[in-house]
A and B are shown apart, each in its own frame.
Chain A
Amino acid sequence: MASVDKVGRRAPIVHSVRVDKVSRGAQILRFIRAAVVVVITSIMLIPVFWIVLTVFKSHPDAIAVPPKVVFKPRLVDSFVFLFTDRFLLPPPKLAQYPDECKESWTECVRNKCSKPRSGKELAWYECVALEGGQLVTGPGKYGEYVINSLIIAGCSTAAAVVLGLLSGYAYSRFDMPVKDFQLFFILSQRFLPAVVITIPIFLMYKDLHLQDTHLGMIILYTVVNLSLSVWLLRSFIDEIPREYEEAAMVDGYTRLQAIRKIVLPNALTGIAATTVFCLIFAWNEYAFALMLTSDVARTAPAFIPTMIGRGVVEWTSIAAGSLVFLIPVVIVTFALRKYLLRGVTFGAIRQ
């Protein structure tokens, strides 16, 4: 068969009907199996579903006991609360606003309500806050922190993938002394959990003035991700026959040109998979971020839990924060899904 297989490329055999699989009983069994899968998947998705529900609840609905599944949706409130800093207006101050401005925020916008003292017209988000009896004092920190997250996760992922690609190529193609030990050493970067090494790193970063800086976090995440990306990309490059580059080199190209023209296009699957893995790690990382950043370089995951500790627990804006936080990873994963389906299996089903 081997020789035939290599030559005759035909569509893969997708499914096959076995005599013992066509009976009525077998069909029912198959249906039951499918149903079980659907049920389990739904159970797994309940937390996400609950977050989405909470985002659109009003604050009282969110903390109601027993929890409400049917409620009047509030579309923007939680997002406004998430992105602004506010304080609760004391009743005398609140009384200075006309009633039609406090009724509902849409009314407030339509009536062009303004602040009682300065006469400045209220923006729509200020109307939303007013409806909750609050006054907006300025933009919240969350937006800034999401941007921090984007910068840190993006840069460290890019760095990890580029470095991983180069060293993965080298490990795949060249003979070098104690290669296996080197690879093992690289992997060992991942042996210790973050909580164990944060303190030493904290001390080190303090001396180097890298604490609470973007650069510090990018370097840290890159190092942690590098072991994964070197290993992953090496195994992907291992699967690209070296004859490809050798053919190019015999044809008159240098090694670097051969890598750019031949290896890169063929390693796209691996690059995509590695990118997503690195991005997910850097994006979700919590322990380091909590210890090593305070404000300038603070990332969203380290911030969200701190929202709990500020006066009233605003569950709806925490939910909104979580939801916003999910979006970038979902977008990237979705954009790369066609590579991932093959990539995540570590090349096992690649031909």
Chain B
Amino acid sequence: MATIELRQVEKKFGDLHAVKPMDLTVHDGEFMVLLGPSGCGKTTTLRMISGLEAVTGGQILIDGRDVTWAHPSDRDIALVFQFFALYPHLSAWQNIAFPLQAEGESRVNIEKRVSEVARMLGIKHLLHLRPKALSGGDKQRVGLARALVRRPAAFLMDEPIGALDADARETMRAEIKQFHLTQNATTVYVTHDQIEAMALGDRIVVMSMGVVQQVGTPAEVYYDPANLFVARFIGSPGMNLVTGGYADGVVHLPGSNPYPVPPAWNTALQREMGSEGDVIVGFRPEAGRVTGTGPLVAEVYATELHGAYTVLHLSLNGTVVHIRADRGIDYPIGTAVRFDLDPEIVRFFDPQTEAALRLPFDGAQDKAQEPALRRAQDTALTGGSTNG
């Protein structure tokens, strides 16, 4: 297994700066996800690591060895595009063995590796079947097995499950994660789906327009987005971002909604803003709580049932924010709703630089995880009458 290190790696296509100089270290055994919208340079980065694309500048090191100009086949990596394209004329076994045969492995070794990976994915009993005879899920498992049967220093995967339907994607996501847990192979995984990134990644690299916006664990990018882009991109729906005028410990949100800043943030805001100025308040949908006494009032714009809960879309004088609410209460469009924000997970952003403001003492990271945990337990304790 291997570490991968990028030092000031960049890529230009003519005038287009597809990847701006970028530093990144993927540790041994780490599952690193490159996440970003279409065209942000994820695939290009991956192709540079694999050697299919020449870098314009910078250095790539695998296990400390400079491979910037090494041929792709000298890098001991496996590049995986999509899992499911099986050869219809070969049996599952032959399909899985195919990459090993291409590498000229010995017969014994092939036999061993194939049955190992098949056992791991629970498809041992299917190996003699042709793809036609396999169910959809088993087909994908065979595809996954073929992708993973090699034992390279690192796996590079470019949206391997992007073409599957939602259900299969969920299943395969778990399979990939399971496989990674047992194998611990260094993996760089490209996706534009933030849910997939959160679920799979040990760490996530959020990219936009060729620039790395933030590198962090799922919890970090979720609770402490480095800037507005990350705040919007992560989460479904993304973080609510509302601009308001800050003065004397109160942010005046649209629709004459004064929001008293949580005391912990007041000093940070004063340091950044002086006594007054514009600031962007950011909060996740679950930070909103409908209460009769909340300081904020907004009009219902639309409501959505999401199975176990409802998402309320509220219009603050034209700015629509989304908050979670319990099921069971009817919120007709146009009615006014009072709500409050959980002070623990409210964040603030500078409208000029778009960067997140930090608390004065650098305890933001611990803070991010704490409330979530507590909330998880709270709900468990209060949720319905449970058997025990």
A and B are interacting partners: yes
Q: Which residues of A come within 8 Å of B, CB atoms?
A: 1-4, 7-8, 10, 16-22
In order of increasing CB-CB distance, the 8 nearest A-B pairs are A8-B38, A17-B54, A19-B51, A2-B163, A19-B54, A1-B162, A20-B71, A4-B38
Chain B 39-71 near chain A by CB (<8 Å), digits 1 or 0 = 100000000000111100000000000000111
Known A10-B39, A20-B71; judge A4-B192 contact (CB<8 A). Answer: yes
* Chain A residues whose CB sits within 8 angstroms of the CB of B82 once the complex forms: 1
Q: How far is the CA of A336 from the CA of B71 in the complex (A)?
A: 44
Are A8 and B54 touching (Cβ within 8 A)?
no
When C-beta atoms are compared, the residue in chain A nearest to B159 turns out to be: A1
6 further A-B contacts with Cβ under 8 Å, apart from A10-B39, A16-B52, A19-B72, are A3-B163, A16-B53, A18-B51, A19-B52, A19-B69, A19-B71
B 140-196 contacts with A by CB, 8 A: 159, 162-163, 192
Query: Chain A residues near B38 (CB, 8 Å)?
Result: 4, 7-8, 10
- Contact call A1/B69, Cβ cutoff below 8 A: no
B39 touches A17 (CB 8 A): no
**Docked CA distance A329–B70 (Å):** 52
Q: Which residues of B contact A (CB under 8 A)?
A: 38-39, 51-54, 69-72, 82, 159, 162-163, 192
The CA-CA distance from A1 to B70 in the complex, in Å, is 28
Are A2 and B72 touching (Cβ within 8 A)? no
Q: Of B39, B70, B159, B163, which one neighbours A19 at CB under 8 angstroms? A: B70
Q: Is the CB of A22 within 8 A of B39?
A: no
Beta-carbon contact of B39 and A8 below 8 Å? yes
Contacts of B159 in A (CB 8 A): 1, 4
Question: Which residue of B has the minimal Cβ distance to A7?
Answer: B38
Contact status B53-A18, CB under 8 Å: yes
> What are 11 A-to-B residue pairs whose CB atoms are below 8 Å?
A4-B38, A7-B38, A17-B53, A17-B54, A18-B52, A18-B54, A18-B72, A19-B51, A19-B54, A20-B71, A21-B54
In the bound assembly, the distance between CA atoms of A68 and B31 in angstroms comes to 75
Chain A residues near B39: list those with CB within 8 A.
Answer: 8, 10
In the bound complex, residues from chain B placing their C-beta under 8 Å from that of A2 are 162-163
Across the interface, do A1 and B53 meet the contact criterion of CB distance under 8 Å?
no
Residue of B nearest to A20 (CB): B71
B162: contacting residue among A4, A10, A19, A22, CB under 8 A: A4
The CB with the most chain B CB atoms within 10 A, among A3, A8, A19, A21, is that of A19
A20 to B73, CA, bound (A): 10
Q: Measured between C-beta atoms, what is the minimum distance from B50 to chain A in Å?
A: 9
Chain B residues with Cβ below 8 Å from A18 are 51-54, 72
CB distance from B58 to the nearest CB of A (A): 13
A18 nearest CB neighbor, chain B only: B52
Q: B71 contacts which chain A residues (CB < 8 A)?
A: 19-20
A130 to B192 Cα, complex, angstroms? 82
What CA separation (Å) do A165 and B65 show in the bound complex?
63
Give the docked Cα–Cα distance between A2 and B82 (Å): 11
CB neighbours (8 Å) of A1 from chain B are 82, 159, 162-163
* B52 contacts across to A, CB distance below 8 A: 16, 18-19
Chain B residue with the shortest CB-CB distance to A1: B162
For A19, the chain B residues whose CB sits under 8 A away are 51-54, 69-72
By a CB distance below 8 angstroms, the chain B residues around A20 are: 51, 71-72
Closest A residue to B44 by beta carbon equals: A16
Q: Which chain B residues lie closer than 8 Å to A17 at the CB level?
A: 53-54
